[in-house]
Amino acid sequence: MDQQQYPSSSSSRADRKTIEKNRRNQMKALYSKLNSLLPHQRSREVTSLPDQIDEAVNYIKKLQTNLEKMRDKKDSLMGVEKITHNNNGGFGGGVLNLGGLRSPQIEIREMGSALEVVLITGLDCQFMFDESIRVLLEEGADIVNASFTVVGHTIFHTIHSKIGESAPGPVAARISERLGKFVDEASTTAF
């Protein structure tokens, strides 16, 4: 019996060595692949494995920081304030924009006889879109197309209209003045 155990323990020891060698080779290949994904500022000097892993960790942390900064910038450009959830079940950090409260903005572009009105409001200001349409119609503009897009708690309204050639005086200037005044008044009364 002793003779039979000896060859089997020898073969199992060889199997363990082979398994460990394969594991080390696989880890070496994975480290090499990880290192190949990193931008190298230095020359092609040989760096130790712990240094390569430290470099990878630092690079990933830098990417995470950059990603967070870009998300914050995107949210800022879209008028979304950052919300953080705390462990008490409440919200902290920025102001939660639940009511869609946002200072309305308007931009008017005149292109020949065409007029484009872009109105940016919160969810609570649907009446401003209706009022903008009313002003355009009162001033003799024909509405060609009106659309909106909702992003978070912000609505982007776009109104394309055509100014009739028979309309008296500088119609675009009057529309711009009336809508600008209306938006300013709505901003001051709502906030």
pLDDT of res. 117 = 87
**Secondary element (H or E) of residue 20:** helix 2-36
Q: At residue 10, what are phi and psi to the nearest 5 degrees?
A: -65, -40
Interatomic CA distance for residues 56 and 38, integer angstroms: 7
The domains of the chain are located at 2-75, 105-190
Residue 105 has pLDDT above 80, yes or no: yes
CATH entry 3.30.465.10 includes domain 105-190: no
Give tens-digit pLDDT for 135-191.
888 888 889 999 888 888 888 889 998 887 655 567 777 888 888 887 777 766 654
CATH class of the domain comprising 2-75: few secondary structures
Q: At residue 80, what are phi and psi to the nearest 5 degrees?
A: -100, 130
pLDDT of res. 172 = 76
Query: Higher confidence at residue 64 or residue 110?
Result: 64
Residue 100 has pLDDT above 70, yes or no: no
Give tens-digit pLDDT for 16-70.
999 999 999 999 899 888 888 888 755 567 778 888 888 888 888 998 898 888 8
Per DSSP, the three-state class of 110 is: strand
pLDDT of res. 99 = 43
Which whole-number Å values give the CA distances from 76 to 3, 67, 80, 97, in the listed order?
A: 77, 14, 6, 13
